[in-house]
Amino acid sequence: MIRLDALEILDSRGQPTLAVAAQLEDGTKAWARVPSGASTGSKEALELRDGDPKRFLGKGVEKAVAHVLGPLQDAVAHLSPERQEEVDRALLAADGTPSKSKLGANAILGVSMAVAAAAAKSRGLPLYRYWKQEGPYRLPVPLLNVINGGRHADNNLDLQEFMLVPHGFPTFHRALRAAAEIYQHLKHLLRERNLSTGVGDEGGFAPDLRSDEEALELLVEAIERAGYRPGEEVSLAIDAAASELGQKGRYRVQGEAMEAPSLVALYEKWSRLYPVVSLEDGLGEDDPQGWQALNRALGNRWQLVGDDLFVTSRELILWGQREKLANTVLIKPNQVGTLTETFAALEACRNGGWRAILSHRSGETEDTIIADLAVASGAGQIKTGAPARGERVAKYNRLLLIEKELGEDGMYAGPEFFPR
């Protein structure tokens, strides 16, 4: 027996989102909260908004709440909460559309996650153990977005995210400490140059800079000031979110219009100048030829990560593997809408010899399920914003706790994933 509850709450941007609870026969009740993106891929499952301009400027989610309490409740009422696949299949059947547009992927994911959370709680297990019955466990390398641009800030940076990758440490907590120290040094550096230290949606600083390259230079300087070795202990990652930079293979970067080959050449130049190890959405979701060229040029040196390109869809990941478009996938449960489909995407990565990075959204809540998912899946990497702002820090703090709980059974993935 599963009894659902749902409620409209706020996300980190102050926009409404859903909290969903599942209560089981033994009285156990657990809540899950649904995140929301801003630079979304066009093939993502549909996030249902009310469209009533009188409430939250049209962004209310009362319809999604009603769908949880009505049709989704009916679909799962009689099911066993431990049978996630059956639960998720029933949710999909209740909706019946390929993009989850009838009941809303936000409503469906909320139920999928709440059921898992309740099932784990009822067994007395933390989620990471519920999903993965035995060790060894891998603590993920965090990709910390410390300079924000693009759709996540109102500054002049075209590229959306400039991240720290503290891989060269023996433990997760040591790696996180390095990133937190570098973040403070970065703040001082910006102040010294009279640049803004206000932050963007994911907690990274959002200064106006002379160019996107200057962001990479600042990060290298901040790493050194904090006393760490760029490239050996702490490297860099970029999310260009290039679907937002143009269309059909034409992009605008640093004030210049360019086609895919020039943008690939720019990335190649950066690969010689800066200790970058990972590039996400370097090209647009509608530019597979560009991705192939990028993969030929940099695929053996960089992680090339598809976010908008694959939208956590198993089918699109398999297509990407056949067409040799990339080598890594960003995994966001709300892009696809159920945990079972999220697991299928992770499995497709594993089977194809690709990497996977668990990810937050730019609109987040205090929910920490992706931290548990990162550990249980053994993906080895998580991207969940700056080491600042409660909704970002909640995930990192959850990982600190998991690391402590695991003790000897937990191993930091850094040196394994980015050996130097």
Instruction: State the DSSP code for 140.
Output: P
For the record, the structure tokens of 160 come out as 């959306």
- Given the complex with ligand PGA, which of 342 and 362 has the nearer CB atom? 362
Q: Which does 287 bind (CB under 5 to 8 A by kind): Zn ion, ligand PGA, none?
A: none
What's the rounded Cα separation, in Å, for the pair 83 and 357? 25
How many Å apart are CA 391 and CA 368, to the nearest integer?
9
Query: Least distance from C-beta 291 to ligand PGA, angstroms?
Result: 16
Distance, in Å, from the CA atom of 377 to the CA atom of 138, rounded to the nearest integer, reads 9
**Residue 37 binds: one of Zn ion, ligand PGA, none (C-beta under 5 to 8 A by kind):** ligand PGA
Residue nearest to Zn ion (CB): 307
Query: Residue 380, SS3?
Result: coil
Contact between 307 and Zn ion by CB under 5 A: the answer reads yes
The residues with which 134 forms a beta bridge, in sequence order, are none
Q: What is the 3-state secondary structure (H, E, C) of 54-114?
A: CCHHHCCCHHHHHHHHHHHHHHHCCCCCCCHHHHHHHHHHHHCCCCCCCCCHHHHHHHHHH
In the bound state with ligand PGA, the residue whose beta carbon lies nearer, of 17 and 160, is 160
66 is a contact residue toward ligand PGA (CB under 6 A): no
At which residue do the structure tokens 């360019």 appear?
A: 258
Q: Which stretch binds Zn ion (CB under 5 A): 118-126, 147-155, 231-239, 371-379?
A: 231-239
Only segment of 95-103, 247-255, 256-264, 357-365 that touches ligand PGA (CB under 6 A):
357-365
Can residue 44 be called a binding residue for Zn ion (CB under 5 A)?
no
Which positions are annotated as active-site residues?
A: 202, 332
239 makes contact with Zn ion (CB under 5 A): yes
Measure the CA–CA gap between 420 and 411, rounded to whole angstroms: 18
Would you state the structure tokens that stand for residue 342, as one six-digit string?
Answer: 């999220």
Minimum Å distance from CB 284 to ligand PGA? 13
Determine the number of helices (DSSP H) and then strands (DSSP E) in the chain.
15, 16
Q: Of residues 360-379, which lie at the interface with ligand PGA (CB under 6 A)? A: 361-362
Q: Is 50 in the site for Zn ion (CB under 5 A)?
A: no
Does residue 241 belong to the site contacting ligand PGA (CB under 6 A)?
yes
Phi, psi dihedral angles at 145 (to 5 degrees): -80, 100
> Does 239 help bind ligand PGA (rule: CB under 6 A)?
yes
Q: Which stretch binds Zn ion (CB under 5 A): 147-155, 197-205, 237-245, 265-273?
A: 237-245
Both tokens of 222, joined, read 């901040």
Which residues in this chain contact Zn ion in the complex, by CB under 5 A?
239, 280-281, 307
Which residues in this chain contact ligand PGA in the complex, by CB under 6 A?
37-40, 160, 239, 241, 307, 359, 361-362
